Structure 1
């Protein structure tokens, strides 16, 4: 097969951005997506400067028509989608359950859960017709653990993991695989907002058995493995990448 075609949502920062560059280094053709036009165009230019055949397409994963158009545009440009990474997400409004509202719930679940569901819906529409493809959703270790003061976020990631397993079972016979990665503490803007201070971030790093927080590239490498033919017998799995934090 010639160079694979990879679609990445939430590609503008953090894990999504690192994943885009990891795939670019392997020679993949890329469709990168996010909500901010200027940053998306800058990412497209940077990927192209590194020799990648890449295009930015603006889309908000909370809207069915925008996700449909994103997937259709990717197919129109490259003829197929070999792998998709559903990374778009938000931490929402961390804090006590007592401080949550219908609005804070919707703001988190619309991106993290509905966005993942809509992305799967349209990616699988294409991949089932192709009879091949790999999808990697991005969850969190909070997707299989409780998290004080992050109940809505944790709940949304529990949902992502349930959807991942259910979708994998639904489409396995068509030759399409669906998995998720669950990052532990990873050095992104989200972690900075969660911890709030350098001292809290250092304390969190000290709690990780490997003695550090993860880097976006650590997660990107796990994603590229799951998306590849090297993981051809892996589906319906949640792969935790957390430096051993949840091991004991």
Structure 2
């Protein structure tokens, strides 16, 4: 039987693209989001309205998926997230707390709820970090801290649950064309400046990130766990050739 995949943040750019890819591959996708209207446009076998930044919302998502599709999801793709470009001395506490809630709290609660739903069975999960958690980028202190927490969560959970046959990995995208980054890329000069930072050039598409996430969930990555895969055009490891 084709796997059941629970995708959180499914109405966002990467989440929606991943839902499309996995549905086309024959997976039974349960798409989770907070906005029923936006969620209605996501290709999925089941759509669940839930706020996974709370433990209750995360548990609801897993329970609704299990009831709606007849079994607990053996795969989890957590694509809930937000970003912030601001130096720390200009970051208000309320903004910081919201950033942690959306990016880190949601990852902890969702992984906890998903593991409980597995009830000792094997499975695979993939989370979304960021290049700014892997290399210092100016004016990204708060989001780097939040995504760094996600990466630490991935490594520890991978160690804890490996004996159960559970794999936990993450991707760390660079600048990606999504609704969340639209404001940063709206002017040609901004887009060109962003593209020059990447050795492979250009701004990557959501499908390029989603494709790696789909691979990490599947059997092709059966020997990978506790890994954070940069999908960043070489940003974190290669210096661009300056002409």
The normalised TM-score by structure 1 is 0.92
1:86 corresponds to which of 75, 78, 81 = 78
Once the 2 structures are TM-superposed, how far is the Cα of residue 147 of structure 1 from its aligned partner? 2.2
Structure 1 stretches of at least 4 aligned residues deviating more than 6 Å after TM superposition: none
Query: After the TM superposition, which of the residue ranges 175-184 and 54-63 deviates more from structure 2?
Result: 54-63
Partner residue, 1:123 = 114
Q: Is the 8 A contact 2:52 2:61 kept in 1?
A: no
Once the 2 structures are TM-superposed, how far is the Cα of residue 58 of structure 1 from its aligned partner? 0.7
Unaligned runs of 5+ in 2: 239-243
2:154 corresponds to which of 142, 164, 179 = 164
- C-alpha distance in 2, partners of 1:82/1:136? 12
Once the 2 structures are TM-superposed, how far is the Cα of residue 140 of structure 1 from its aligned partner? 0.8
Secondary structure, counterpart of 1:217 in structure 2? helix
- CA-based RMSD of the aligned residues comes to 1.3
- C-alpha distance in 2, partners of 1:96/1:217? 30
Partner residue, 2:176 = 186
1:211 corresponds to which of 164, 184, 201 = 201
Q: Is the 8 A contact 2:121 2:164 kept in 1?
A: yes
Once the 2 structures are TM-superposed, how far is the Cα of residue 145 of structure 1 from its aligned partner? 1.6
- C-alpha distance in 2, partners of 1:216/1:184? 11
Q: Is the 8 A contact 2:123 2:166 kept in 1?
A: yes
Matches within 5 A, 1:68-107: 68-78=59-69, 79-92=71-84, 94-107=85-98
Q: Is the 8 A contact 1:32 1:57 kept in 2?
A: yes
Partner residue, 1:177 = 167
The normalised TM-score by structure 2 is 0.93
Unaligned runs of 5+ in 1: none
Query: After the TM superposition, which of the residue ranges 55-64 and 197-206 deviates more from structure 2?
Result: 197-206
> Residue 111 in 1 paired to residue 102 in 2?
yes
Secondary structure, counterpart of 1:226 in structure 2? helix
Q: Is the 8 A contact 2:129 2:173 kept in 1?
A: yes
- C-alpha distance in 2, partners of 1:58/1:25? 22
Q: Is the 8 A contact 1:143 1:160 kept in 2?
A: no
Q: Is the 8 A contact 1:19 1:221 kept in 2?
A: yes
Partner residue, 2:187 = 197
- C-alpha distance in 2, partners of 1:165/1:181? 12
